Structure 1
Amino acid sequence: MKQRIKYCKICKKDFSTMYRIQYETKKEWVFVCKDCLLKVKKDNPQYRYGGTWKA
């Protein structure tokens, strides 16, 4: 069975579990890893959660 991987928009590393978020004013949905999610989420009024993606 093929393993599905996505790349984090911020750190450019691949992960099997990602978080779909908006964190900038341009309202673009992106996938980020947990570490990057915690960094951009803190005190960010633009942050919006859109679901979890798992392989």
Structure 2
Amino acid sequence: MQVKMLFSEWPLVNGLAEDLAKRTEKAGVHTAVGLQSRFHPGIRYIRNLIADGYIGDVYF
């Protein structure tokens, strides 16, 4: 069986991340998770609106 490195974008199905982590560790494979939403144009636009004070205070 050929073993390959794993790159995944969130979200993974509930429970799948743990299963993949166990399998890749056992196989000695490197893994990475990419979280790209902060670079999405819509998210950047909203972030800029908040930073400029356009929509007021944001509480979360």
TM-score (norm 2): 0.28
Task: Tell me which protein shows more strand as a share of its residues.
Answer: 1
Task: Report the TM-score, using the length of structure 1 for normalisation.
Answer: 0.30
Structure richer in helix, relative to its length: 2
Q: Which has the larger radius of gyration?
A: 2
